[in-house]
């Protein structure tokens, strides 16, 4: 496919551009002095690969990890053990188990083995990390750090404990590191272009909206984790072979924090940010190291002062990092973007009916839904209304799998959805919006829609799928396509959320208060928007709104909910004329 080639060339160009700048800086720096400078550049380049490794996971998924250094340590020790010549090993590690004493690999072989072993161990651990939510993943990575540290320090036969290993054949020059950095850059860029990488980013932006649009948290996070393990192993293995020794002090939490600061200061969300951060922190660290005056102060430990100060400043002033969401690759992507030829495809309405029957939901002693139910036929627009606290959103949450029902049944045609997860519901063809807007805020308007379009391409291929730009045009958002979603005004954010849901090519759209916060003129326009956009994919609509005017104009059929039960239903005219409905809204005098 040409677009895959395009993506690869884009990643390559962006990587080459970034690395060229770094290379120019490094060359200029080399002109000013001796060979110790090459060491510093070597250190920066290996940090570079480690930072990109963290970016791939932390930057894309937003899950903080302290444990990456644990896997760097594994890679470093594997490298050392297979690379140290047999004779030297017989001396330093006489009791080495598993017959490793007879193994001796060259630099290339050692690196490959280190990456393979680390990725294998990391992949096992990653299952635990990526399964949990909240702070647990971070704690699990912290535990990994302790586990590896203890094993390395105490498995004397294999590691010589705290003293570490020396005599690793040194690979001269920084050539391999430059190559490694380039490969890492291209892959990190490329990951953000792949489907799974973009899904990971979606989960970072909103842990709830992503599954509701058919994006599985675990899969994308796990992919990012495993890839990041490979980076970490590569960077660590190369570093070990340029230093010639390895010991546990190189992999403490502090060492990990240094790498983390590099990532966060530049801007963890983009590869360009990671590059900028690495260069800035490496340079600043070195400057502050030289600032120390051993005569006057007890030690040259100014780097900590620099690190702490920079991190504090960035967190207070620019928590997203210096670059935020700016990056070379993104700029290229926008520059190279060509709109596809618009195609006209006749939408086909689905043939399944969405139905919820006898839904009961209890939270503790509180009954939120008490036997409510409804049906939406293919292509039909059903309005769901009722006073505050009637259970409308709860019913939505039950249908979309966010809230488990105590009793009752949800189905789409023959398909049972009662116990389905949000991801399964979305992939089955129900797309929803949220009452308080859950856009992928830091992503561009186009990316918001394109993400669901990617899900549709994979899981909704049997349906007519709308073109992203046509959708944006229909929503009146094409002019803002490259802006971050959270810079739109409120009405446009609502329309964007609608377009994003439509891009899933759903059989039913579930809209939770699409006009809340809009003026009357805007909500009138929304009637048209919703109807048109639903029609482009042949979807039925279930819509909650507090604005009876909007609901009457848009709906074919209205269901009135009160106190968790269906109070009335019928055509808009019937419902308007029903005195019970007015009473439910305005209350009675009693």
Enumerate residues 206-225 that contact other proteins by CB under 8 A.
208
* Residue from 3, 28, 35, 298 binding other proteins (CB under 8 A): 298
Sheet containing 565-570: which strands, arranged edge to edge? 430-432, 508-512, 540-544, 381-385, 557-562, 565-570
User: Which one among 4, 24, 120, 305 touches other proteins, defined by CB under 8 A?
Assistant: 305
What is the Cα–Cα distance from 155 to 133, expressed in whole angstroms?
Answer: 33
Scan residues 36-65 and list those touching other proteins (CB under 8 A).
62, 64
Q: Which stretch binds other proteins (CB under 8 A): 215-223, 353-361, 473-481, 485-493?
A: 485-493
312-331: contacts with other proteins (CB under 8 A): 312, 315-316, 319
User: For residues 418 and 438, what is the distance between their CA atoms, to the nearest angstrom?
Assistant: 24
How far is the C-alpha of 487 from the C-alpha of 493, rounded, in Å? 9
- Residues 84-113, mask of contacts with other proteins (x by CB under 8 A): ------------------------------
Q: Which of 406, 516, 565, 578 binds other proteins (CB under 8 A)?
A: 516
For tokens 């002033």, the residue is 317
> How many of the other CB atoms lie within 10 Å of CB of 149?
17
Interface residue with other proteins among 257, 332, 415, 478 (CB under 8 A) is: 257
State which of residues 92, 194, 418, 524 lies at the interface with other proteins (CB under 8 A): 524
Cβ at position 302, least distance to other proteins in Å:
7
State in angstroms the smallest separation of the CB of 21 from other proteins.
26
**CB 18, min distance to other proteins, A:** 24
- Write out the binding residues for other proteins, residues 227-246 only, by CB under 8 A: none
Could you tell me which of 179, 185, 197, 176 has the C-alpha nearest to residue 14?
185
Residue tagged 């003293």 (tokens): 163
The number of C-alpha atoms within 13 Å of 265 and in the hemisphere containing its C-beta is: 24
Nearest to 440 by CA among 214, 135, 192, 199: 199
Shortest CB 71 distance to other proteins, Å: 14
Q: Of 228-236, 369-377, 502-510, 544-552, which part binds other proteins (CB under 8 A)?
A: 544-552
**Measured between alpha carbons, how far is 346 from 220 in angstroms, rounded to an integer?**
33
What are residue 464's phi and psi, to 5 degrees?
A: -70, 120
Least Å distance, CB 240 to other proteins, is 22
Stretch that binds other proteins, among 113-121, 215-223, 385-393, 412-420 (CB under 8 A): 385-393
Please give the span between the terminal C-alpha atoms of the chain, in angstroms, as a whole number. Answer: 70
Contact 208, 421 (CB under 8 A): no
Residues 347-376, mask of contacts with other proteins (x by CB under 8 A) = ------------------xx----------
9, 27, 172, 519: which one contacts other proteins (CB under 8 A)?
519
């Amino acid at each position: 496919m040409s677009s895959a080639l395009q993506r690869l060339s884009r990643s390559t160009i962006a990587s080459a551009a970034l690395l060229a700048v770094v290379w120019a800086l490094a060359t200029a720096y080399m002109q000013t002095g001796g060979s110790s400078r090459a060491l510093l550049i070597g250190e920066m380049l290996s940090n570079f690969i480690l930072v990109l490794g963290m970016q791939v996971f932390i930057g894309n998924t937003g899950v903080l990890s302290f444990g990456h250094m644990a896997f760097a340590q594994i890679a470093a020790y594997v490298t050392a053990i297979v690379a140290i010549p047999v004779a030297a090993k017989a001396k330093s590690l006489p009791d080495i188990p598993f017959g490793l004493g007879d193994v001796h690999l060259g630099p290339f072989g050692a690196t490959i083995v280190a990456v393979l072993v680390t990725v294998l161990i990391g992949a096992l651990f990653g299952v635990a990390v990526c399964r949990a939510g909240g702070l647990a993943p971070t704690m699990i990575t912290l535990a990994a750090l302790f586990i590896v540290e203890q094993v390395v320090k105490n498995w004397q036969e294999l590691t010589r404990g705290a003293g570490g290993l020396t005599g690793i054949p040194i690979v001269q020059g920084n050539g391999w590191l430059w190559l490694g950095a380039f490969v890492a850059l291209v892959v990190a860029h490329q990951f953000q272009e792949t489907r799974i990488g973009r899904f990971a980013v979606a989960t970072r932006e909103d842990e709830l909206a992503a599954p509701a649009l058919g994006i599985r948290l675990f899969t994308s996070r796990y992919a990012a984790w495993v890839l990041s393990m490979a980076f970490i192993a590569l960077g660590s293995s190369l570093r070990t072979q340029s230093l010639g020794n390895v010991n546990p002090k190189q992999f403490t939490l502090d060492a990990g924090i240094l790498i983390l600061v590099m990532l966060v200061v530049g801007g963890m969300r983009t590869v360009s940010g990671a590059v900028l951060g690495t260069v800035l922190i490496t340079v600043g660290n070195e400057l502050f190291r030289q600032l120390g005056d051993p005569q006057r102060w007890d030690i040259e430990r100014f780097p900590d002062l620099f690190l702490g100060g920079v991190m504090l400043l960035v967190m207070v002033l620019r928590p997203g990092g210096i670059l935020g969401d700016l990056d070379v690759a993104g700029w290229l992507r926008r520059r190279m973007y060509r709109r596809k030829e618009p195609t006209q495809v006749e939408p086909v309405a689905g043939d399944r009916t969405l139905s919820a029957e006898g839904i009961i939901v209890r939270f503790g002693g509180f009954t939120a839904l008490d036997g409510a139910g409804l049906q939406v036929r293919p292509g039909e627009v059903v309005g769901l209304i009722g006073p505050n606290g009637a259970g409308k959103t709860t019913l939505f949450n039950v249908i979309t799998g966010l809230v488990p029902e105590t009793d009752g049944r949800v189905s789409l045609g023959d398909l049972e959805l009662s116990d389905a997860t949000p991801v399964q519901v979305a992939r089955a063809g129900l797309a929803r919006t949220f009452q308080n807007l859950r856009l992928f805020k830091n992503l561009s308007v186009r990316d918001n829609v394109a993400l669901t379009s990617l899900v549709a391409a994979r899981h909704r291929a049997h349906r007519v799928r709308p073109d992203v730009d046509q959708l944006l045009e229909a929503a009146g958002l094409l002019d803002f396509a490259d802006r971050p979603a959270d810079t739109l005004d409120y009405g446009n954010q609502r329309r964007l959320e609608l377009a994003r849901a439509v891009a899933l090519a759903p059989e039913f759209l579930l809209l939770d208060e699409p006009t809340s916060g809009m003026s009357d003129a805007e909500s009138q326009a929304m009637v048209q928007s919703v109807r048109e956009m639903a029609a482009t994919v042949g979807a039925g609509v279930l819509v909650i709104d507090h604005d009876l005017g909007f609901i009457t104009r848009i709906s074919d059929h209205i269901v009135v909910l009160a106190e968790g039960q269906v109070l009335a239903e019928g055509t808009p005219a019937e419902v308007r004329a029903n005195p019970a409905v007015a009473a439910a809204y305005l209350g009675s005098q009693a």
